[in-house]
Chain A
Amino acid sequence: MNWNFIPLALGEAISPTTAAYALATIGLVVHFGFTGLVNFGQAGFMAVGGYAFAITTLKLDWPFPFAVLATIVASVLFAFVLGIPTLRLRADYLSIVTIAAAEIIRLSVKTAEIYDVTGGSTGLNGAADTFQALNPIPPGNYGIGVLRFTAPDLWTMIVGWALVLLACLLVWALMRSPWGRIVKGIREDEDAVRALGKNVFSYKMQALVLGGVLGGLAGALFILPRSLQPDNYGTQLTFFLYTIMLLGGATTIFGPLLGSAIFWVVLSLSDGLLTLGVDAHVLPISSTQQGPIRFIIVGFALMLLVIFRPQGILGKRIEVFFRA
């Protein structure tokens, strides 16, 4: 029997994909956890960021820093498009519009007419080239035991996690400031905050933009180790991010990191265990059923979590108690 899948699964905790999910979830925490904005379209922000990065890099030959800038600008614009019509209305409108907008993005990039720009349903390949050209790590094979990384892998990981930590620092600095006090107040009762002379619409917009930019950057980070595929940005991506957020704690700074790591480790551990079971003919399932069953396991774990630890792993119990 091959038990190599265990260290490999644990290695998922530090993979660039885990970092990308953590970053997108930090954005979601800004929206949902701190400001009370129910954004069901974080996958849309990731798609906008990913496409902005890939198109400016591949089609316009922009250098890496400018492509990053384009990613940020595109996310800001997307946040405005979603926020301006909905943030004055009741909270539910934002959730409806975001879920729809994310799907519109995913479906419209597949249109044949713009195949030259977006690559249709096959997506875009090679957006990481300008990024890897900046890689200072000498080529080689790094790591311990079966957990090996190439130089490009390592470079993506280092930059990805640095970005995640930077985002944590930014959100932490904001949330301890009077700015953070206002958005948390808005989460509790926006009319009360309005009555105290704060421009609630403007703060909701700022929070939407901040979380959206983090989502957009996560979208760019997500395609560094892989090609850009429109179908990676379906609603299920948003729900994975919600899972990660609830796992770590919706109002915590480091929850998304922990949640993302656990999510990916559990997903790949259960995959490894299922493979063992299927190969040994212990489990009465085929290998095609394996994929969905992993998610059933994750869903089940989430159910238990919500029942026994609704505040998430790092959250405070008392916060759930006082939530009306």
Chain B
Amino acid sequence: MSELIAGEPAPGVAKRDPILVADHVTRRFGGLTAVDVEHVEIPAHAITALIGPNGAGKTTFFNLLTGFDKPNTGHWTFRGEQLAGVPAFRVARRGMVRTFQLTKALALLSVIDNMLLGASNRAGENFFAALVPAAWRARDAQLTEKADELLRKFRLDTKRDDYAGSLSGGQRKLLEMARALMSDPALVMLDEPMAGVNPALTQSLLRHILELKEQGMTVLFVEHDMHVVREIADWVVVMAEGSVVAEGSPETVMSDPAVIDAYLGAHHGTDLGTVRGRLEVAEGMESELVRSEVEGEAAGDGR
């Protein structure tokens, strides 16, 4: 997939047609640096997977980019426009819509109402115009049609009028993803969309994601399942301990020593990233007891 890049494959490599460009983005929680991304570009009209061990900072990075969290440093552009400091709802309106790792179904709204919230109905969402159904009925009907079509695709049509709270965990994931697509975003950011979805449905969802790409949408998704990544990703960005450690096509990335290293760390009893992070916290706290304890743990980890 070298047609995506404009340079030698390396972490932070420039893309021919980037939709999202982030620079010097850092986020610290106390002494722990959760995100420290020097430079990364997400290619437009492609499917990019963001992978990395638990605690690598993927979700935090999503939160920063979408305005749900504030970085300590850094700025980024989306479709050429500055996006740092823009509130979350404006980010979504500009065409960058995300889903959450911990699913957020609106439990006491029906499935169809959840879907309708995904798009915008200018008149109906205005306090005064909302009192005049004639002002928003037509648009609502049009959106309902679109929502029903998406629900069919995501196999939720039989649940249409049920409370979202009655859905299973996997169904909630599907609902959240379908809801995010209601506004036809330019970039969808999915945080572990396949977690808890049964394999048969995963296949059909993957086809659906590929379809989104054919329609010109850009997809950035976090995923732990390497089969999924290999199957649909055009490009893979690997994060470990907050930084981008590797980038490339799925095949090259999975044989990259840096990636294997990061993942092996994760597969030991203790995550290297976690221990190293806690070491910094311990230093911050200047507590001899905690520090020696954590240092002992880190040493025991073979370093």
Is the beta-carbon distance between A318 and B100 smaller than 8 angstroms?
A: no
Is the beta-carbon distance between A195 and B125 smaller than 8 angstroms?
A: no
With A179-B124, A182-B125 already in contact, the answer to whether A198 and B100 are too (CB < 8 A) is no
Is the beta-carbon distance between B106 and A197 smaller than 8 angstroms?
A: no
Chain A residues touching B, range: 20 to 34
Q: For the complex, what is the distance from the CA of A194 to the CA of B96, rounded to whole Å? A: 12
B interface footprint on A155-189 (CB within 8 Å = 1, 0 otherwise): 00000000000000010011001111110110111
Q: For the complex, what is the distance from the CA of A68 to the CA of B190, rounded to whole Å? A: 51
**Which single residue of chain B is at the shortest CB-CB distance from A318?**
B163
Which chain A residues lie closer than 8 Å to B124 at the CB level? 177-179
- B217 CB-CB contact with A under 8 Å: no
Q: For the complex, what is the distance from the CA of A196 to the CA of B176, rounded to whole Å? A: 10
Is the beta-carbon distance between A178 and B183 smaller than 8 angstroms?
A: no
- A1 CB-CB contact with B under 8 Å: no
Partner of B109, one of A184, A197, A198: A184
Is the beta-carbon distance between A180 and B97 smaller than 8 angstroms?
A: no
Q: Which of B7-15, B30-38, B111-119, B193-201 contacts A (4 or more CB under 8 A)?
A: B111-119
- A193 CB-CB contact with B under 8 Å: yes
- A324 CB-CB contact with B under 8 Å: yes
List residues of chain B with CB under 8 Å of any chain A CB. 66, 68, 88-90, 92-93, 97-100, 104-109, 113-114, 116-118, 120-121, 124-127, 130-131, 133, 136, 140, 163, 165-166, 176, 179-180, 182-183
Is the beta-carbon distance between B133 and A196 smaller than 8 angstroms?
A: no
Which chain B residues lie closer than 8 Å to A187 at the CB level? 108
- A43 CB-CB contact with B under 8 Å: no
Q: For the complex, what is the distance from the CA of A179 to the CA of B140, rounded to whole Å? A: 12
**Which single residue of chain A is at the shortest CB-CB distance from B104?**
A192
Which chain A residues lie closer than 8 Å to B68 at the CB level? 191, 194-195
Looking at the assembled complex, report how far the CB atom of A30 sits from the nearest CB atom of chain B, in whole angstroms.
12
Is the beta-carbon distance between B89 and A198 smaller than 8 angstroms?
A: yes
Which chain A residues lie closer than 8 Å to B113 at the CB level? 181, 184-185
Which chain A residues lie closer than 8 Å to B131 at the CB level? 170, 173-174, 177
- A275 CB-CB contact with B under 8 Å: no
